[in-house]
Structure 1
Amino acid sequence: MSRSTDAPPLHEASEASELTARSKIMATPRVLRPLRNPAYRWLAAALVASMVGAGIWMVALVWQIVAIGGGAAELSLVAGASAIGMLLTTLLGGALADRIPQRRILIVVEVVRAASVGAVALLALAGTLDVWHLTVVAFVGGVMAGLYYPAYSALLPSVLPEDELLAANGFEGMARPVLMQAGGPALASALIAISSPGAALAIAALTGVVAAVCLRRVPDQPLRGERASGTRHPAVALLVDVRDGFSYMVRTPWLLGTLAFASLLILIIMGPFEVLVPFVIKDVAGGGPEGHALVLAAFGIGGAVGSMVVASLRLPRRYLTVMNLLWGLGCLPLVVFGLTDQVWVMALAAFAVGAAFNGGVVIWGTLLQRRVPPEMLGRVSSLDFFVSLAFMPVSMAFAGPAGEGLGLPMVFLIAGIAPLVIGVVAIVAARMRRDELVHPLDVTEPADSEAVGAAPEREPEKALA
């Protein structure tokens, strides 16, 4: 049968179809474009379930300890067990993520989380729960968290193309404060009000089942990058991998400079924000728990907004400079906590800190996924996570004595100004402004050009020679 003379030529029809597809892509908001990918939709659904479960666990744990007659000491014991579990496994988790398909690690994590939390939920509902049960489960949860973050960070670039990683990190940065700091805790509070902490724990366990089911729908991705084969014992090989991760960090200036800055940043600001802000609200502003909740909510909302804004834009040309300055300048509003006695002003300052900090985190996650060699990404992500865990308790331990010895205004003045100074020093010392020009990441998206690819990564010691 002959083709109608009114029909356009086949090549023109193909071009029209391609243009229509491109227009639909461009019409989708940048931050939502990764959700067009079916594999990422399932991965994101699993992450959402996991975040909600974590938010429920945080609130249910406190009130479950209260329900069995415990107090602050018991809560500290359980929280400490979780932190120890994470510290023990984070670095090994990165090495495992570079050797084992990351999806499988995530499934194991969610299954173990569902089983362990489900066990304490049953004990709680049966009235036979003790603090040591919660301590063991918190330790197991910390171990699983140490495995989760490196595996997820290494899996994401296998699921999405490079030009959608910034949007995906922004979407997740927006979802994390909304779900872990608002949605999950609110659901836990409602469940405790109408039933019991045990019921909330049961729902937290159910979120692990949902996450595992969603992860099963994500196609198994082959490990990215090349690995040298060897005859070492598996345990020795893992330790060698961890050592190689440290070696890569040391010989990569932009990575070493940023992690050093981040370590000092956490050391300087986390203690004052977590430990001293409640006392500023109580003793200076005359507020109470509702004022503290307002400040924390403002910080979380700011984080969500900052993540959304950064994810809606292109990756900046000067991505290393912008990222570090966001963290440095974003700490300046902390000075406000030492100068004002108005809770609403503190809330505005917390919003600004959250927005800048999370905006920088979105760039940081994308930077790791695009510039770190694929076979090293799990280990570098675990180093990033380890830095946060290692310096947070130290910062909290020093915050109280510093507040009493120096006074609250001086502590918050240091917390506000010192990170900016350190950030600028890191940018200069690690020669980041030159490095980001040698390795540009602001590539044209596929919708704008047919031939798109990230600039090839050079050997770090050669790139800055």
Structure 2
Amino acid sequence: MTSAGTSNLATHRAGRVCGPGAERAVRPPAAGTTAAKISGPAHGHSVTIDCVSTQFDLQQPVQPPGGWRVLAPFRFREYRLLIAAVSISIFAEGMWAVVMALQVIDLSNDPASLSLVATCLGAGLVCFVLVGGIAADRFNQRTIIIAVEAVNMIAVSAVAALGTFGVLRIWHMAVAAAVLGIAAAFFFPAYSAILPRILPAEQLLAANGVEGVVRPVLQGAVGPAVAGVLIGLTFPTLGATTVAALFAVGLTLLIATRPPRQPVADVHGPTEHRHALTDLREGFVFMLRTPWLLWTLLFASIFVLVVLGPIEVLLPFIVQDRFADGARTYGFILAFFGVGSAIGALAVSSARLPRRYLTVMMAMWSLGSLPLVILGVTSSFPVMAAATFVIGVTDGAGMVIWGTLLQRRVPRHMLGRISSLDFFVSLAFMPLSFAIVGPLSKVVPMHVIFLVAGVVPVLLAAVAMTAARMPRDEIANPLR
């Protein structure tokens, strides 16, 4: 999942694992545990390690929690504080998306200025997300998250202060946006890596589901709406002040958390003797030698290239052309996507992880893209709203499974790097998709572009599942 001001859809397009090139030799597990033994090359010598998702996997059986599954993680104090802080920050990010835009417009009523600020935010995220992944695997994730929240608060506070004294300029907004983007690049890998350290393995699905509900609701709907009303009644600087105050509350909650009892696992020895590029290379090698991961990321990269451009760039024009009140209609359509995404995340996290988790995830993302075909041809608001709702449901459900899959099947000492690769792959193709689809729409009819966007993911998913042998893999590596 990105920072405030970036595409809400883009934020979504974001167990046991044996090491790179390993040969697996499964041995009978101890009672109530699961384990796998691997051997393989690591820095010129052989190693044999036990690969489990967390210490909880090793020490206790995966049992369904009592009550409603999605609420189970709230039994843990550290998770309650963490998700409260993250929820407040997500709400603040949703507000900042509107504050940033309206503040730039207030300073310079020029689309190029807003484009500059948004580009700085996106560039900061994309350029530093791999560095953030390395940091998440090398340093204490709680410390990283606290530092990120502090940086967010300081950056937005600076904007609010400069605005209050009437000296705020566009370049100040650009710098603040870049800082927020860089901070987000460090947050996402650290957050993904810390969850398995504070929760049992069987509750990661529920925890990812909670975020899957909170993010589209607070960042995609409530935050922007509150900011719009607040700034409409007052002025943009008050909006920035409110966002800074929210970040301060989130920071206070994060400081109140206790460090995870489980230390960072390092099967290769002290990290201070390893070069950062070595860590990065190790992450790439792991990705290349792990078929389900490699082919899912390849699928995601082409999915982003084919799908996001039509939705983010062309859909607003389609709505504007086909409906009398285009702006409000477009807002409602995006709201249906957000509600659908929240419902999909809630539904999946309230049940057990599907036995065929890879198949279900790929089916959600691929078949869930088919309603895009409808968006290219319909002029009916109910039909268009229903189509975006279905897209949201399948996207939210798939993302919860994906986040849980990474936390369960990627070794903990590599989870930060792999999570950052996931974000990097998704975000890297987003600007290209935006750049291509506009000129393409001048020579290719809209309905054809949306037809391609709806059908291509289905074909890509079939190729990815076959190439990675996902049906066989998910049976050989059960996560229920």
TM-score by length of 2: 0.85
Amino acid at match of 2:125: M
Q: Assess if the C-alpha contact under 8 Å between 2:323 and 2:329 holds in 1.
A: no
1:416 lines up with 2:454 in the alignment:
yes
Amino acid at match of 2:353: L
d(CA) in 2 for partners of 1:70, 1:239: 43
1:229 lines up with 2:307 in the alignment:
no
User: Given the alignment, which residue of 236, 255, 263 partners 2:301?
Assistant: 263
Aligned to 2:107: 68
Aligned to 2:345: 307
Q: Assess if the C-alpha contact under 8 Å between 2:108 and 2:170 holds in 1.
A: no
Aligned to 1:405: 443
Q: Assess if the C-alpha contact under 8 Å between 1:150 and 1:378 holds in 2.
A: yes
d(CA) in 2 for partners of 1:169, 1:280: 33
Aligned partner of residue 167 in structure 2, secondary structure:
coil
Amino acid at match of 1:226: D
Aligned partner of residue 406 in structure 1, secondary structure:
coil
User: Given the alignment, which residue of 319, 326, 329 partners 1:281?
Assistant: 319
Aligned to 2:204: 165
Aligned partner of residue 224 in structure 1, secondary structure:
coil
Q: Assess if the C-alpha contact under 8 Å between 1:320 and 1:433 holds in 2.
A: yes
Offset from partner CA, 1:240-283 (integer Å, 9 cap, x none): 11111001000000000100001111111000000000111122
Aligned to 1:81: 120
Q: Assess if the C-alpha contact under 8 Å between 2:359 and 2:471 holds in 1.
A: yes
Amino acid at match of 1:61: M
d(CA) in 2 for partners of 1:230, 1:120: 40
- Please give the residue correspondences for 1:209-224 in structure 2 after superposition, counting only pairs within 5 Å: 209-221=248-260, 222-224=262-264
Aligned to 1:453: none
How far did residue 193 of structure 1 move?
2.4
d(CA) in 1 for partners of 2:263, 2:113: 42
Amino acid at match of 1:113: N
d(CA) in 2 for partners of 1:279, 1:192: 26
How far did residue 344 of structure 1 move?
2.4
Aligned to 2:135: 96
d(CA) in 1 for partners of 2:117, 2:174: 5
User: Given the alignment, which residue of 386, 390, 393 partners 1:348?
Assistant: 386
User: Given the alignment, which residue of 382, 397, 407 partners 1:359?
Assistant: 397
Aligned to 1:56: 95
Q: Assess if the C-alpha contact under 8 Å between 1:281 and 1:343 holds in 2.
A: no
How far did residue 228 of structure 1 move?
2.2
1:244 lines up with 2:282 in the alignment:
yes
d(CA) in 1 for partners of 2:318, 2:227: 28
How far did residue 233 of structure 1 move?
6.6
Number of residue pairs the alignment of both structures matches: 417
Aligned to 1:132: 171
Aligned partner of residue 267 in structure 1, secondary structure:
helix
Offset from partner CA, 1:389-417 (integer Å, 9 cap, x none): 10111111111122222201100110011
d(CA) in 1 for partners of 2:149, 2:119: 21
Aligned partner of residue 332 in structure 1, secondary structure:
coil
Aligned to 1:392: 430
d(CA) in 2 for partners of 1:322, 1:427: 11
Q: Evaluate the alpha carbon distance shift between residue 314 and residue 231 of structure 1 in structure 2; reply closer, same or farther with a 3 A threshold.
A: closer
TM-score by length of 1: 0.87
Q: Evaluate the alpha carbon distance shift between residue 231 and residue 166 of structure 1 in structure 2; reply closer, same or farther with a 3 A threshold.
A: closer
Amino acid at match of 1:42: L
Amino acid at match of 2:447: P
Unaligned runs of 5+ in 1: 1-23, 443-465
Aligned partner of residue 217 in structure 2, secondary structure:
helix
Aligned partner of residue 264 in structure 2, secondary structure:
coil
Q: Evaluate the alpha carbon distance shift between residue 131 and residue 231 of structure 1 in structure 2; reply closer, same or farther with a 3 A threshold.
A: closer
Amino acid at match of 1:409: H
1:334 lines up with 2:372 in the alignment:
yes
1:151 lines up with 2:228 in the alignment:
no
d(CA) in 2 for partners of 1:344, 1:420: 25
d(CA) in 2 for partners of 1:285, 1:57: 29
* Structure with max Cα Rg: 1
Q: Assess if the C-alpha contact under 8 Å between 1:92 and 1:239 holds in 2.
A: no
How far did residue 284 of structure 1 move?
3.3
Aligned to 2:473: 435
Sequence identity of aligned pairs in percent?
47
Offset from partner CA, 1:330-359 (integer Å, 9 cap, x none): 000000111211122111101100110110
Offset from partner CA, 1:349-404 (integer Å, 9 cap, x none): 01100110110000000000000001000000000011121011111111112222
d(CA) in 1 for partners of 2:403, 2:264: 17
Q: Assess if the C-alpha contact under 8 Å between 1:287 and 1:343 holds in 2.
A: no
User: Given the alignment, which residue of 336, 340, 355 partners 1:317?
Assistant: 355
d(CA) in 2 for partners of 1:408, 1:82: 29
Q: Assess if the C-alpha contact under 8 Å between 2:371 and 2:388 holds in 1.
A: yes
Q: Assess if the C-alpha contact under 8 Å between 2:138 and 2:271 holds in 1.
A: no
Offset from partner CA, 1:147-184 (integer Å, 9 cap, x none): 00000000011011011100110110010010001111
d(CA) in 2 for partners of 1:153, 1:95: 13
d(CA) in 2 for partners of 1:363, 1:229: 31
Offset from partner CA, 1:311-331 (integer Å, 9 cap, x none): 111100000011011000000
Q: Evaluate the alpha carbon distance shift between residue 229 and residue 161 of structure 1 in structure 2; reply closer, same or farther with a 3 A threshold.
A: same
Q: Assess if the C-alpha contact under 8 Å between 2:287 and 2:293 holds in 1.
A: yes
How far did residue 71 of structure 1 move?
2.2
User: Given the alignment, which residue of 220, 239, 243 partners 1:204?
Assistant: 243
Aligned to 1:381: 419
How far did residue 287 of structure 1 move?
4.2
Cα RMSD (Å) of the superposition? 1.6
Amino acid at match of 1:381: S
Amino acid at match of 1:120: V
d(CA) in 1 for partners of 2:144, 2:177: 19
Offset from partner CA, 1:279-312 (integer Å, 9 cap, x none): 1112234441011101111111110011011111
Aligned partner of residue 138 in structure 2, secondary structure:
coil
Q: Assess if the C-alpha contact under 8 Å between 1:100 and 1:223 holds in 2.
A: no
Unaligned runs of 5+ in 2: 1-63
d(CA) in 1 for partners of 2:465, 2:85: 36
How far did residue 212 of structure 1 move?
1.3
Q: Assess if the C-alpha contact under 8 Å between 2:341 and 2:393 holds in 1.
A: yes
